[in-house]
Amino acid sequence: MFVISIGGAWFYLQQHLFGIPIRLPLVWGTAGVFLLRLSDAIKQLVKE
């Protein structure tokens, strides 16, 4: 959940700063899932 909030805040900040309307929620959703899986994989590596 923490990663999602940071990502969401970052994308919102980018949109606000550069005035770029984000019209590709599917792309951002896919990137979010990828980041979540990546963080899970890193957690698994740290545990081992």
pLDDT of 15 reads: 65
- How far is it, in rounded angstroms, from Cα 22 to Cα 4? 16
pLDDT of 32 reads: 80
**Predicted confidence pLDDT, tens digits, the chain (48 residues):** 556 677 777 777 666 665 555 555 667 777 888 888 988 998 988 987
pLDDT of 5 reads: 73
pLDDT of 16 reads: 63
- How far is it, in rounded angstroms, from Cα 2 to Cα 21? 24
Q: Distance between alpha carbon 9 and the CA centroid of its chain, in Å?
A: 9
Q: Which amino acid is at 41?
A: A
* DSSP codes of every residue in 1-48: -HHHHHHHHHHHHHHHHH------HHHHHHHHHHHHHHHHHHHHHHH-
